[in-house]
């Protein structure tokens, strides 16, 4: 029996510096980017004052995301709405990519850690900018000076917790689904149903519903929500 590998497959290699591997993760991210760009272009083409059809849908999506930002961060931080909206849509599409049989890019620690590091940089950049560098740095020595290393380590734990939780959820779902597909396929062929995918046709739907739709949407929401809460916390 051959071992099952769950890591992202290398699609091709870029021919400099000993070959940079371009994995499934990156290619699927490009696909998501293309889909989002095309959808934005279609949704915002020939805008009218009274929205109709696809413009209506686009406006509804933007309004929901704007409201989410406004409720969580407050009216004064609405300038974050475009970033949070983009993050939300991108994570949503990434997590739901498993539904069409592609590997979700979020099932790769590189993707989630990159997004979490962006959140981390935002927390500290905007924290230092609104509070002033001195007050911001002094915040690390509160309530006692000797807690400084503890505070710094605690801050460094934020991107790790954020990225590991999304990555863990998505890669766990991916592994369970791959095992289920493998097992159900051999079950079908054991019963002599090679041409008729009886078991792997229907049963994984339930698993997809839980691991891709439920966990995917929930984790998207939590990631964006935590990013908003942490950034606005650092700024107040």
| Smallest gap from residue 190 Cβ to other proteins (A) | 40
Residue 13: strand, helix, or coil: strand
| Shortest reach from residue 152's CB to other proteins, in Å | 9
Q: Minimum distance from CB of 158 to other proteins (Å)? A: 8
| Closer by beta carbon to other proteins, 63 or else 194 | 63
Nearer Cβ to other proteins (166/180): 166
Neighbours of 127 (CB within 10 A): 20
Residues constituting the chain: 236
The residue among 226, 210, 211 whose CA lies nearest residue 87 is: 226
Tokens of 96: 């739901």
For other proteins, which is the closer residue by CB, 83 or 221? 221
Other beta carbons within 10 angstroms of residue 21's beta carbon come to: 13
Distance in Å, CB of 102 to other proteins, minimum: 27
Given the complex with other proteins, which of 62 and 226 has the nearer CB atom?
226
Question: From the CB of 224, what's the least distance to other proteins, in Å?
Answer: 9
- Which residues are at the interface with other proteins (CB under 8 A)? 68, 71-72, 74, 147, 149-151, 153-154, 157-158, 160-161, 164-165, 221-222, 225-226, 229, 233
Q: Which is nearer to other proteins, 36 or 226 (CB)?
A: 226
- Alpha-carbon span 123 to 73, nearest angstrom: 13
Beta bridge partners of 23: 10
Residue number with CB closer to other proteins (184 or 228) = 228
Q: How far is the CB of 144 from other proteins (least distance, A)?
A: 12
Of 72, 40, 76, the residue nearest 59 (C-alpha): 40
Determine whether 111 is exposed, middle or buried from the number of CB atoms within 10 Å of its CB (0-12, 13-18, 19+): buried
């Amino acid at each position: 029996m051959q071992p099952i590998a769950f890591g992202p497959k290398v699609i091709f290699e870029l021919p400099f510096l000993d070959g940079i591997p371009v994995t499934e993760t990156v290619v699927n991210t490009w696909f998501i980017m293309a889909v989002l760009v095309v959808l934005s272009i279609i949704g915002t083409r020939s805008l009218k004052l009274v929205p109709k059809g696809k413009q209506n849908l686009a406006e509804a999506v933007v309004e929901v995301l704007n409201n989410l930002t406004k409720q969580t961060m407050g009216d004064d931080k609405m300038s974050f709405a475009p970033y949070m909206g983009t993050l939300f849509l991108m994570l949503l599409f990434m997590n739901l990519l498993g539904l069409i049989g592609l590997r979700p890019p979020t099932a790769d620690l590189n993707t989630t850690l990159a997004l979490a590091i962006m959140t981390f940089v935002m927390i500290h950049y905007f924290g230092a900018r609104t509070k002033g560098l001195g007050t911001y740095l002094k915040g690390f020595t509160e309530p006692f000076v000797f807690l400084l290393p503890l505070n710094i380590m605690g801050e460094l734990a934020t991107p790790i917790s954020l990225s590991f939780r999304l990555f863990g959820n998505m890669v766990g779902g991916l592994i369970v689904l791959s095992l289920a597909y493998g097992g159900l396929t051999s079950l079908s062929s054991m019963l002599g149903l090679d041409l008729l995918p009886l078991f792997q046709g229907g049963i994984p739907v339930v698993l997809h519903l839980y691991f891709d739709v439920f966990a995917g949407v929930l984790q998207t929401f939590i990631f964006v929500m935590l990013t908003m809460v942490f950034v606005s916390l650092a700024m107040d």
